[in-house]
Amino acid sequence: MQDATRRGTADNTLHEGSLQEIHRFALSRRAFLRAGAGAALGLGLPAWLGGCASLPEHASPAWKELAASLQGTLLMPGAAAFAKRAAPWALQYASTLPQGIAQCADEADVRTCLRWAQANDMPLVARSGGHSYAGYSTTTGLMIDVSAMHAVDIDPSTGIATLGGGARNRNVYAACRPFSRAVTHGRCKEVGVAGLVLGGGIGFNMRLHGLTCDGLKATRIVLADGRALACSEREHDDLFWACRGAGGGNFGIHTEFTFETFPVGEYTVFELTWRDRFAEVFEALQTMALSAPDSLGMKLSVKAEAGKPGLALTILGQLADSKDALMAMLAPVFAVRPPSTSKIDALPYWDAQELLSEQGDPEFSHERSRFVKGALSTGAIHAILANLGAWPGTHVAATWKFFLMGGRIDAKRPADMAFVHRGCSMISSIELEWTEADSPETLTKNEAWLTGFHDAMAHYTTPYCYQNFIDPSQRDYLDAYYGENLPRLREVKRRYDPTDVFRYPQSIPV
């Protein structure tokens, strides 16, 4: 969602000339903003006075003008909440700070911000959850923060859920629990649903109910020219096609999502860990997983952790069936080697999610992914174990993992929507974590190790990577993320964002 190349500000223009010129400029600009984003929506005068309180005295007329034009609040450096709102999830990008953060209260605020940023030649970025793996929800200009638009409403008669553009997984959890319904959601509670769904959306429900984007029925998006479009398979279907898999920061700012939810009952959740005989256990688990019913959602991880000897192999997930059914599936694996530790519980769905979920707190992390078709070979498994055994080490950990795919994901064809990665057995990824205590030399060694590991796994996987694990180091990233759908995505980009307002280092080009 980052516009990394746009530079410039109206400040120099505003500081030149007389006070009368400044006054005329501000009045004309405010009239422009009101006409484009306020008056058309019937906003009253008091609503335009809300954002000034968080501005420093030295703020330029342009920033004061924006603040006065918002129903939400404009934060600038020095405001009490600024540092917290500016911080990204990926802490290595925390030094990139915006000049201002517009905490949008509604869609009209989003339109106002887009018009103001373009009129002032200001870099812009939209932020929902801020969990871009590559820091693409940071900017040196205006951050358009929609996180306050987080309401989730569920119609009990239809099961249709309507989410604000800033809703996070935790908001979905809270709203869906009373109705015993769900969508395909993520494990990290602080992750924004916008980022999740617009890049595809994986979770433990995806094999039984499809990806998050598969359950999306409609969305509202504000374009660079200020138009707010309702998109579905009946309206602006070409843009709706593109948003389901390539929408994150490429075409506009999403203010609303409509999902079809599904009922949930009792699930069996599990976390099991092995500390030896890794290759044999891995083979047995893979065989079990690839032949499992769609009701199984699972992640397998092999982890090297600072201060702990050896490796640990863990499976985490859920089964929409009984504990006995899970034990029967795991019996061949246990015959190879029982786990060192195990936790298996049968619980109502939303209670089960509390055991599977994590907060998603900020960290230093670099993750690199590849999609896999079929089973990983014995050679691939040994390559995983050997590379983890050669990890240079940080103060945290390094992990190779796969998320089991298949099932209902493959009910859609690669061309049905922008998410092209159908027919895959798993998403594999390598995650490197560190802290500020790790030296630049240590980090250089670890990044070189990560690149070597990622490149080595290319022999055993497809060349495609998951766009939600967006990776600034990925070569040929457009082909890796979008494959055969890229030409059509470029057509949609030219149609809806012809001046390339929404761009970042790995965005879809015009």
Predicted confidence pLDDT, tens digits, the chain (510 residues)? 333 333 233 333 223 333 333 233 333 344 444 444 333 333 333 333 444 556 888 899 999 999 999 999 999 999 999 999 999 999 999 999 999 999 999 999 999 999 999 999 999 999 999 999 999 999 999 999 999 999 999 999 999 999 999 999 999 999 999 999 999 999 999 999 999 999 999 999 999 999 999 999 999 999 999 999 999 999 999 999 999 999 999 999 999 999 999 999 999 999 999 999 999 999 999 999 999 999 999 999 999 999 999 999 999 999 999 999 999 999 999 999 999 999 999 999 999 999 999 999 999 999 999 999 999 999 999 999 999 999 999 999 999 999 999 999 999 999 999 999 999 999 999 999 999 999 999 999 999 999 999 999 999 999 999 999 999 999 999 999 999 999 999 999 999 999 999 999 999 999
**Residue ranges covered by each domain of the chain:** 11-145, 152-263+485-496, 266-483
Q: Tell me the two tokens of residue 128.
A: 């929902």
Residues in the chain: 510
DSSP 291-323: TS-TTEEEEEEEEEETTS-SEEEEEEEEESS-H
Q: Helices marked H in 213-322 — which ranges?
A: 237-246, 278-290
Sheet holding 216-222, edge to edge: 152-154, 160-164, 253-260, 216-222, 228-231
pLDDT, position 58: 87
The residue among 395, 391, 390, 387 whose CA lies nearest residue 307 is 395
Class of 266-483 per CATH?
Answer: alpha beta
CATH entry 3.30.43.10 includes domain 11-145: yes
Read off the pTM. Answer: 0.90
Residue 211 pLDDT: 98
Read off φ and ψ for residue 78, nearest 5 degrees. 105, -25
| Residue reference for tokens 């932020």 | 127
Largest pairwise CA distance in the chain: 84
Q: Does residue 169 contact residue 193 with C-beta atoms inside 8 Å?
A: yes
Domain 152-263+485-496 sits in CATH 1.10.10.10: no
- pLDDT value of residue 54: 62
CA-to-CA separations, 180 to 17, 233, 349, 351, in angstroms, rounded: 63, 27, 8, 11
